[in-house]
Copies of this chain bind each other. A is one copy, B any other.
């Protein structure tokens, strides 16, 4: 049977279990020219929360009654095309389900399991997470050695990679995260120069801590969080700072948007804020993946994974992204 985790209604704010349903249906057959993938690992990402809303975005909303859209890595189960043979490992945009149908001419690509220690790495270091960090920092922010890099959500999958790549690029790295344990990991596991705990702090108090760590301000802000954390960051911009707007996890579940209150310093510091999606860099994914793999092999880059198990745990696993429980790239192992 094919277990499928469906979106049954659009969440209002924080998703609740009743927004979803786990159902079983027969294992599908390949369509003409297409194939069926047995998913092994499913990526759980903040972006999925956005796809659940019926709002304009860079992708259409997940249709109600469809499985929750997810990038997965798996094995071809049955095929009607010579391009994909049963047993091939593939990665693509599928869903939270055991088996996904791939139409002819889709975007799924073959991957080589020999280059990774676990196929889940195609969803982390060599997937959207690692590549989002790579291109967002190196191509959008263009760091120079000696610059100050300030990262929010720094213990998260993207944030921890950004900090380490920034360090490789010669930046002084300051990470913001929630809680003592995450801050310990920023310094000990990911090599941040400074870790700042935002929990329980006003914008003013957080801003003062940032200023103490970077008296001349941040040359680069890599924004994953938004909200009051971003407000505090904006009070600490160096002249001509670059802000990479990569995510806003603090407000994905809130119908009332906080936005950023401190716009004036962006103007006076002549900063530039870049709305950033990774898609434009797709032609260079291979090149970047090779560099990331090399850095990992050299021990200069560590991409942690938070592997949860079982499609029946999709809801609590997904909620780890928003509760602060998650560190590292969250994946759901379903086979």
Q: Given contacts A57-B268, A268-B58, are A263 and B245 in contact (CB under 8 A)?
A: yes
Set B58, B231, B267: member contacting A275, Cβ < 8 A: B267
Q: Are A263 and B257 in contact (CB under 8 A)?
A: yes
Q: Chain B CB within 10 Å — which of A231, A259, A265, A276 has the most?
A: A259
CA distance A26 to B262 in the complex (A): 43
CB–CB B226/A263 < 8 A:
yes
What range describes how many residues of A lie at the interface? Answer: 20 to 34
Residues of chain B lying within 8 A (CB to CB) of residue A271: 275
Q: How far is the CA of A164 from the CA of B258 in the complex (A)?
A: 34
- Of all chain B residues, the one with the shortest Cβ separation from A272 is B274
Q: What is the CA–CA distance of A257 and B277 in the complex, to the nearest angstrom?
A: 28
Copies of this polypeptide in the complex: 2
A238-282 residues at the B interface, CB under 8 angstroms = 245-248, 251, 257-277, 280
B259 touches A245 (CB 8 A): no
Q: Shortest distance in angstroms between A145's beta carbon and chain B's nearest beta carbon?
A: 24
Q: Tell me, rounded to whole Å, the shortest Cβ–Cβ distance linking A132 to chain B.
A: 12
Question: Which residues 83-101 of A sit at the B interface, judged by CB distance below 8 A?
Answer: none
A183 to chain B, nearest CB (A): 26
Query: Smallest distance from the beta carbon of A140 to chain B beta carbons, Å?
Result: 10
Binary interface encoding of chain A residues 49-62 relative to chain B, with 1 for a CB under 8 A from any of its CBs, else 0 = 01000001110000
User: Are A246 and B267 touching (Cβ within 8 A)?
Assistant: yes
Is A248 a contact partner of B263 (Cβ separation < 8 A)? yes
A245 touches B257 (CB 8 A): no
B-chain residues with CB within 8 Å of residue A258 when the two chains form the complex: 261
Chain B residues whose CB sits within 8 angstroms of the CB of A270 once the complex forms: 274-277, 280
Q: From residue A233, how far is it (CB to closest CB) to chain B in Å?
A: 13
21 A-B pairs within 8 Å (CB atoms) are namely A56-B265, A56-B268, A57-B264, A231-B259, A246-B267, A248-B263, A248-B264, A257-B261, A257-B262, A258-B261, A259-B262, A260-B260, A260-B263, A266-B273, A266-B275, A267-B275, A267-B276, A270-B274, A272-B272, A272-B274, A273-B273
